[in-house]
Structure 1
Amino acid sequence: MSDLERTNTNENRNSKSELHINVKDVPFHLSKETIAKRSAVVSSLLERNKIDELQGILRDIEADPETFKLVAKFCYGYKVKFTSDNIVSVLCIACYLGMNEEHSTDNLLGKASSFLETRVLPCWNETVNALRSGDKSLEKLADFKLVDLFFDSLIEKASYDPRLLGESNKNNREEYRPNPRRRLFDNDWKSEDVITLPLRFYEPLMIRAMESRSIPAEYIVTSVCSYAKKWVFDAEEDSVSCKKREVVEAVERLLPHQRGIISCEFLFKTLKHSIWLEASSECRNGLGVRVSKQLDTAKPTDLKILTQGHGESYSFEDIQLVRAVVTSFYSNYTNEEEEEDGEEEVSRFFKVAKLLEEFLLLAASESSSSSSSSLKLEAFVALAEITVAISLGVLRYSDGIYRAIDVFLERHGDLTESEKMEACKVLDCKKLSRQGCDEAVKNQRLPLRIVVQVLSVSQRQIRDTVAKEIKGAEDKVAEEEIRIWSDEDEMEKMSEKLLGVEIEDHHQCVVHRWKKTKKVSVWRQVKRKFGCLTINSSSSTSADACTCDVKKKNKKKKIHHHYK
């Protein structure tokens, strides 16, 4: 027998006033006067003699027997041990029974409130645990805005250390360093996770976290993804579908639209579960838009998530989901307000085209005619048509389509000739590379008609190659001839120029000589005129030279007169 039961027995022997209360089918026999001293509600009912209402006094609140036992022990003078697990329930019962200071000093409501403010709210772990444990009781405390008090406390702590919401998965991020003045929260940040909270608390808490703008978005996304994984992806199969659907719809509302901040794998999984759980059209459309915006960053294994059914099988309907996502990817480009760089846009188109080729090959590789999860011919052709449509104008060769078809034919060796032709109808042989043609010609799995088409394409490629080589050789010869003629013209021009220079130099030389000769002849004529032409015409003998002939003439004359 417990101390409370022993006390009740002793008091009941001395008093005829007993209070019989059932708390979830657990009976409590208490003294009316003892409870009335601490509870204003019980005291009021006793004064009005409403005994029937006293017996079902806790019927309107979700009180558990253990918590009510603590409240009853407090009324009998025992010390109550508060914890984060029971503090909200104790507050709810104390508030409901009117156990405040106005009715009795040092009452339960004041003690519980003091414990909440000093021991629970300052600590992250205790706050999360109290909020989670008092889920149902908090509804009765809506007027006291106790939930807002919990939310404000958690947001304040997460603002100083976002790791409390969960480790970010962002690549190459710098390690978060909390404010040195707030080391109080650094020691327990890994202990309690907010993803354990019920959805009715988790969603408004994350909305406040986003509105605060003091918590990086990647930490909020990490928390939301973990929440979906816990309550939807990893939840038991027999879990209530409506609860899963509510979680998926809430997750879609919480996820940002920013490109690249959410992993493609998570988006594909969430979109697939939203279809399975028959979520609202707004939820499915929102997830589809997020998937299409970053389809170029996805992997073939991500696309596989969309095509898998409940039995891990491919179906034609699931292939249509791939078509819808790809269509949405292209429609986003026409609806985007910001213009992207041309090269970046082409790069994204190229990546999506290669993604579809790789996924087609993956789907063909994993299929087998003997397996129940085999990719059927109809689904393969539908997926191949999507791949061909995406590659038009983006990929130069169709070798990727050919390899996927080859693998599909290899895994389905029991196909008839007409079925093989159906699988090969999407192959454009004209777009096969030289290496692809060489492989296809030797491939015995291909239908004969396809091999003939490949041979025709191969011959045409050979003719084109030879023609290009001949034309290239002719162009080279023509360029050489043009170069030679050009060189000859240059040489001729150079020769003419040199000849002109020589003629000009010769002419100048002749003129110079003529001028010199002409000058000498005139001087000689002058000398002859004056009879002064001698061999030596220096200045010292010029006078003698000028008189030599005159003297001779005079001599002759004298001699001539002497004979006379």
Structure 2
Amino acid sequence: MDAYCDLEVDVNGEEVFMVDKKVLSSYSGSIKKMFSKSKGGKRNLKVIYHDFPGGAENFELITRFCYNNGNIDINPFNITDLNCAAYFMEMNKCVTGNKNLLEQTEKSLEGIKYWTWSELMAALKRCQDFFPVASSSGILEKCLDSLLGRVASSCETSPCPSVSSPDSSKFRASCDTRSSESLKSSFLRVTWWFEDLVQLDIHVIEMLVKSMVSRNLNHSIIGKFLFHYQKARLASTFSDEKIRMVETVVEMIYSLDLSTVSYKRLFGMLRVSLHVNIRKCCRNKLESMIGLQLDQATLDDLLVPSPVRARYLYDVNLVLRLLKSFLAKGVWCLPLSRLKKVASLVDLYIAEVAPDPHLKPSKFLALIMAMPDSARDSFDGIYHSIDLYLEVHSGLSEEEKTRVCSVLDYEKLSSEALNHLAANTKFPSKSAVGALNFQQRRLKNLLQRTNQSNSFTNSPIFHETERTEGKDESCEQIVLYAGNLNFSTETERIRAHLQGMQWRVLELEKICRKMQIRMTKMMKSRLSNQSNANSVPRLCS
């Protein structure tokens, strides 16, 4: 072995170098500490590196620096390698001045603002190759600061700050007078960097986004970039990397202003997360963000297939969790318009899942009861969904059917729905009787209001109504009596009675309509007579 090559260096198992220990020790503090206590006559010294930044190729670059009396050309394409290797080998503790490699690289970084975008991206890509050291040495932070400055500058000079969010109402309001070509050009001016940054690893993106948020960069632009990043990287990553990436993106979006985030893209991310099995806490955050703006969703958004091992068709539990998030702050905190919009959406969803033969009554009821009654103006849609559910689930017990039908609010059912329910053999007899009772009470109230407004109480119409009411009371007594019977043995006979009474209700409705028409004509006639009397001139006395 040559006298001037007394140190054997194994670099990451890639290659073995024979170097002069004295030369390397004069520039590397770590090498100097290793052999400071060894005797000069000892031969066959060996150092093994397992995680040298940049591997054998970069170690060769360091040896050239040492053998060249501390001189080397530093440029944007090798500055990351040299800086990280110098930090790793403590090449700032042995010499000073221009011989100190770490200081040389840090001084070169002062000119980073003059680098081209390609040079900056090249340095960043090398940083992520040996992320821990680049992060500790500070070069990664300086590169990210420079990149962020350029991105922020392009966003601030954009003529339309919200251009990155086409779904935003602010964007439409402020830019609606421009041509589509101008808007497209503006959009590209603030998103030109999207595709280049897709090449960076998720941990680098995480650092970058945190800096963006701290500098108050437009949240809609950040959100749009994160969705773009996830979509672009998803196909090229492995299973474990997909989980890490999706979880990190969700956490970053969760830190943004939710009003700037597209709910459509959140639903897309939700569907992705169901396939990669992210952590429960992360999934809860994603569902919470979706739930808070559930009034913007559509039926197609909610029709998420059930988990693989589940027998039911759609993921009903997911929708129940989204509804829970939507109502988390309390019904009183939400505008009635938003509540009604979500209730309408839920009613459509219920009608869609009702034919599922594997949907349990408890889940079906939970969907109906998730929204407060005040959010529904009509229960007709719920009635038709229950009708469909009972048709598919004909094997339910009478008790289960009664429990399912107990959620119906008769006051919010139309007359047509009540009449249909009273004759519907799929419903329990108690529900049919209850519907008919309520229909009769509603009709009697209508007749009473009509009579109170009618000043011609001696008219034949009024007496006809009185006679009709008397018969109606007897019908109601029959219905109330039927409610106490044993429906398991007399169901068919009771239904025959109910059908007869239903026809009677229809007759009463016809009479009411006739009364209202006649009253209207009589009132118009009276007003016309009064008008004519007032127009006749007074005779001379």
TM-score (norm. length: structure 2)? 0.65
Q: How does 1:58-77 map to 2 (within 5 A)?
A: 58=49, 61-73=52-64, 75=66
Cα offset for 1:291? 3.4
Aligned mates of 1:53, 1:59 — CA distance in 2: 19
Cα offset for 1:218? 0.7
1:78-102 deviations in whole A, cap 9, x for unaligned?
9989887764233211333355795
Is residue 168 of structure 1 aligned with residue 164 of structure 2? yes
Name the SS for the 1:202 alignment partner: helix
Aligned mates of 1:460, 1:217 — CA distance in 2: 64
Give the match for residue 455 of structure 2: none
Q: 1:380 is aligned with what amino acid?
A: F
Give the match for residue 469 of structure 2: none
Partners of 2:25 and 2:32 within 8 A in 1: yes
Query: CA 1:55/1:349 → structure 2, altered by over 3 Å: closer, same or farther?
Result: same
Q: How does 1:357-368 map to 2 (within 5 A)?
A: 357-365=347-355, 367=356
Query: CA 1:237/1:52 → structure 2, altered by over 3 Å: closer, same or farther?
Result: farther
Partners of 1:45 and 1:53 within 8 A in 2: no
Give the match for residue 367 of structure 2: 383
Query: CA 1:25/1:286 → structure 2, altered by over 3 Å: closer, same or farther?
Result: closer
Aligned mates of 2:401, 2:191 — CA distance in 1: 65
Query: CA 1:296/1:405 → structure 2, altered by over 3 Å: closer, same or farther?
Result: same
Kindly tell me the number of residue pairs found equivalent between the two proteins: 455
Q: 2:538 is aligned with what amino acid?
A: S
Cα offset for 1:47? 6.7
Aligned mates of 1:76, 1:464 — CA distance in 2: 110
Partners of 2:206 and 2:248 within 8 A in 1: no
Aligned mates of 1:124, 1:268 — CA distance in 2: 32
Q: How does 1:410-559 map to 2 (within 5 A)?
A: 412=392, 415-416=395-396, 418=398, 423-428=404-409, 431-434=412-415, 436=417, 457=439, 462=506, 465-487=509-531, 489-491=533-535, 494-496=537-539, 499-500=540-541
Give the match for residue 299 of structure 2: 300
Cα offset for 1:348? 1.4
Is residue 26 of structure 1 aligned with residue 17 of structure 2? no
Aligned mates of 2:58, 2:404 — CA distance in 1: 69
Give the match for residue 156 of structure 1: 149
Q: 2:307 is aligned with what amino acid?
A: G
Aligned mates of 1:27, 1:54 — CA distance in 2: 16
Aligned mates of 2:424, 2:191 — CA distance in 1: 65
Give the match for residue 200 of structure 2: 196
Aligned mates of 1:480, 1:167 — CA distance in 2: 61
| Mean Cα deviation higher: 33-42 or 75-84 | 75-84
Aligned mates of 1:490, 1:396 — CA distance in 2: 46
Q: Which has the larger radius of gyration?
A: 1
RMSD (Å), alpha carbons: 5.0
Partners of 2:9 and 2:19 within 8 A in 1: no
1:21-58 deviations in whole A, cap 9, x for unaligned?
12222341322168538734346766764789973374
1:82-131 deviations in whole A, cap 9, x for unaligned?
88776423321133335579569678657756776668983445534533
Name the SS for the 2:196 alignment partner: coil
Give the match for residue 486 of structure 2: none
Segments of 5+ residues of structure 2 without an aligned counterpart are 176-182, 440-501
Name the SS for the 2:374 alignment partner: coil
Aligned mates of 1:128, 1:167 — CA distance in 2: 25
Segments of 5+ residues of structure 1 without an aligned counterpart are 1-11, 501-564
Name the SS for the 1:168 alignment partner: coil
Cα offset for 1:140? 3.4
Give the match for residue 356 of structure 1: 346
Give the match for residue 474 of structure 2: none
Query: CA 1:231/1:443 → structure 2, altered by over 3 Å: closer, same or farther?
Result: farther
Partners of 2:350 and 2:385 within 8 A in 1: yes
Cα offset for 1:20? 0.9
Query: CA 1:495/1:126 → structure 2, altered by over 3 Å: closer, same or farther?
Result: same
Aligned mates of 1:129, 1:414 — CA distance in 2: 67
Q: Which of 138, 146, 150 is equivalent to 1:145?
A: 138
Partners of 1:293 and 1:329 within 8 A in 2: yes
Partners of 1:401 and 1:427 within 8 A in 2: yes
Q: 1:309 is aligned with what amino acid?
A: P
Cα offset for 1:466? 2.7
1:390-434 deviations in whole A, cap 9, x for unaligned?
3x2343322211332344345x36634635555444344564335
1:339-374 deviations in whole A, cap 9, x for unaligned?
x9xxxx332122011011011122235x3x4xxxx4
Aligned mates of 1:431, 1:151 — CA distance in 2: 60
Give the match for residue 546 of structure 1: none
Give the match for residue 543 of structure 1: none
Give the match for residue 463 of structure 2: none
Query: CA 1:327/1:104 → structure 2, altered by over 3 Å: closer, same or farther?
Result: closer
Aligned mates of 2:63, 2:43 — CA distance in 1: 19
Aligned mates of 1:311, 1:221 — CA distance in 2: 33
Aligned mates of 2:339, 2:285 — CA distance in 1: 22
